Structure formats: structure tokens, C-alpha cells
Structure 1
Amino acid sequence: MLTESLLALAAAGGTAVVQAAGTQAWESVSERVPRMFRRRSGSGGEDEARLGLERTALVRASDDEEGSSREASLWQQHFVTLLDDSDDQVRQRVETELRQLISLVPGVADSRQVLNVHGNTYDKSPQQYGSHNHQQISYGSDT
């Protein structure tokens, strides 16, 4: 089972692949993604990734927002599977490569900030409220 931060990383990776299509970042992204899947057990991971990239480029070129959203979800799932199928050492390498991939696409890394908080103990139950780009978490009254 992957951590929330790895799931968020996979989601950002999926978004990065789709957002890169048709931009200057596409050449670098379309070279890196198949290399990431070369490690996958079984044959054909690299070829499948190339075919997926071609499909993504076609969908992006058609300006189909629903299709682009589906492509991002598909890539997210591919990255989740890649991270989940890996041992710890390979997972760390995949994480690093995925972060580098995301950094190639302007705006994706900035819009996918992830806060990792774990292992905390509170004397009151936290309450969380949020809407779109704002989140508020409170741990009891201020009095």
C-alpha cells in the first residue's frame, strides 16, 4: 500500500505527462517515461508506455478536456502500479525520476504541493474544512 504522498506524486506525474503534450517539455517527458517503465517486470513495459504517450499526444491535440482528464488518470494509475510493484530501492529511484519528470512541466510542480504530517497526537479531535484552494484545520477552541 502506497503512502498518501506517493499517491499524490503519481497523480502529479499523470498530470505532468498530459500537460507536457504539445509543449517544449514533451520531448524530454516522452523520452523519460518509457525508461521508467523499462524496469517493470515482464516484457513490453517500455513499448506500452510509448503507445500510451502517442495516445496522450493525440488526445491533447484534439482539445478534448474529458479525454485529457482520463489520460491523466490512466498515467496516474500506471505510476501507482510502477511504484507499488517496486522494492524499496527501486521505488526510491522511481520517486526521484518522477519528481524530475514533474519538474520539467511548468506549473505542475507548483500546483501539487503535498504536506506530509503523520505520527501526531492531539488532545482534541481535529476538524477539517476546505473549499477549492483553501483548507482550514482546527484542533478545538481558541479559548
Structure 2
Amino acid sequence: MLTESLIALAAAGGTAVVQAAGTEAWEGVRSGVVRMFRGRPDGEAEVEPDLERTALLRASDDAEGSSRQVSLWEARFTSLLDDADDQVRQQAETELRRLVSSVPGVADRYPALHVHGNTYDKSPQQYGNHNHMQIHYGSDA
């Protein structure tokens, strides 16, 4: 099972692929995606036509088609990260973070990408009603 951070990374990756199409970042993102899927069952041969479709839809300003492409790439990246052994997952995560960071503004839309290694020495206590929530770690003293 993927962590929240990896799920957010897959979503950001889907957005990055679509946002990069037709920009200066496209060739770098495109080649990075091909590298990530090389040698996998749904590898390079399967990825190339989808990358071309993404570029064509983005160029046609088809908002609905672009949205579907974001979902397609998010699902592909989720599957890649979820199905891989630890070494392949780590490599894919590194490459995906690089791709996301190469497309301006994408990483900023996914706050979960910026949370790492949170640990707390006290159990959290949650209080709330309707639309107000307070979370306390440890005593208030």
C-alpha cells in the first residue's frame, strides 16, 4: 500500500506529464517517463503512444481529454510505484520527483509532497465540531 506522499506524487506526476506537453519541459518529461517504464510489462512500447496522445490532446485544447490524460498517467504512476520492489520503487520515486519539479508550479499544488518523516512522541487528541477542528499533541500545560 502506498503512503499519502507517494499517492500525491503519482497525482502530481500525472499533472506534470499533461502540463509539460507542448512546453520546453516536454522532451525531458517524455524521456523521463519512457525511462521509468523501460523493461516493465507495460513498458516503453505501451507508453510511447500514450505520450503522443497526451501531446495531441494538449495541443488541441481539449480540457476533458487532458483531464482524462491526467487520470491515466496518475493511474500508471500509482501502479508503477505500488507494484515495484523497493529498489525499483525508489528509482521511480526519484525520477518522478525530478519530473514533477521540472514542470513549473506542479509541485506547489500538492502539499503532501513536502511532508517527510513526521513523528510525534505523544498520541494526538482531536476535538472538533462541524467545521472547526483542533489537534493537540501531548498536554496543554
Instruction: Give the TM-score of the pair, scaled to structure 2.
Output: 0.83
Deviation at 1:88, TM superposition (A): 0.8
| Cα distance per residue 1:19-68 (max 9 Å; x no partner) | 0001000011111101100142x3x5111111110000111111111111
Deviation at 1:139, TM superposition (A): 2.3
| Cα distance per residue 1:67-97 (max 9 Å; x no partner) | 1111001000000011111111111111000
Percent identity of paired positions between Structure 1 and Structure 2: 59
Equivalent residue for 1:94? Answer: 92
- Which of the residues 121, 124, 127 maps onto 2:123? 121
Retained in 2: the 8 A contact 1:102–1:109?
Answer: yes
Letter in 2 for 1:121: S
Equivalent residue for 1:107? Answer: 105
Task: Could you list the structure 1 runs, at least 4 aligned residues long, displaced by more than 6 angstroms after superposition.
Answer: none
* Within-5 A mapping of 1:59-70: 59-70=57-68
Retained in 2: the 8 A contact 1:11–1:76?
Answer: yes
Aligned residues: 133
Residue 138 of structure 1: SS of its match in structure 2?
strand
- Distance in 2 between residues matched to 1:17 and 1:95, nearest whole Å: 15
Which sections of structure 2, spanning at least 5 residues, go unmatched? none
Deviation at 1:121, TM superposition (A): 1.6
Query: CA-atom RMSD, angstroms?
Result: 2.4
- Distance in 2 between residues matched to 1:127 and 1:91, nearest whole Å: 38
- Distance in 2 between residues matched to 1:57 and 1:128, nearest whole Å: 46
Residue 24 of structure 2: SS of its match in structure 1?
coil
Equivalent residue for 2:22? Answer: 22
Which sections of structure 1, spanning at least 5 residues, go unmatched? 131-135
* Within-5 A mapping of 1:22-101: 22-40=22-40, 42=41, 45-101=43-99
CA spacing shift, 1:129–1:113, aligned 2, 3 Å: farther
CA spacing shift, 1:92–1:128, aligned 2, 3 Å: farther
